[in-house]
């Protein structure tokens, strides 16, 4: 009977391990969410500054002419 409980515990741990590996959350990047790119320094043409990236670089977006 004790072996049965140990097998159930091992099975439960395996199921939890498999469930945890199926979903890997990505960190939220607000610059990419605004269709921007991270550049070191200031934004040059044809880009304009829209914020700061997580690493301290400038978040720049390309001009769109209609």
The pLDDT value given to residue 65: 74
- Please list the alpha-helical segments (H only) found in the chain: 2-21, 30-33
| Residue 43 burial (CB count, 10 A) | 18
Give the Cα separation of 61 and 31 in Å (integer): 9
pTM: 0.55
Domains, in order of start, for the chain:
29-65 (3.10.360.10)
Confidence of residue 47 (pLDDT cuts 50, 70, 90): very high
Distance CA 38, CA 60 (A): 6
């Amino acid at each position: 009977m004790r072996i049965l409980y140990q097998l159930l515990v091992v099975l439960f741990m395996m199921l939890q391990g498999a469930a945890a590996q199926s979903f890997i959350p990505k960190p939220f990047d607000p610059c990419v969410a605004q269709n921007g790119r991270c550049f070191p320094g200031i934004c040059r043409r044809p880009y304009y500054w829209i914020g700061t990236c997580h690493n301290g670089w400038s978040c720049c977006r390309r001009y769109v002419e209609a």
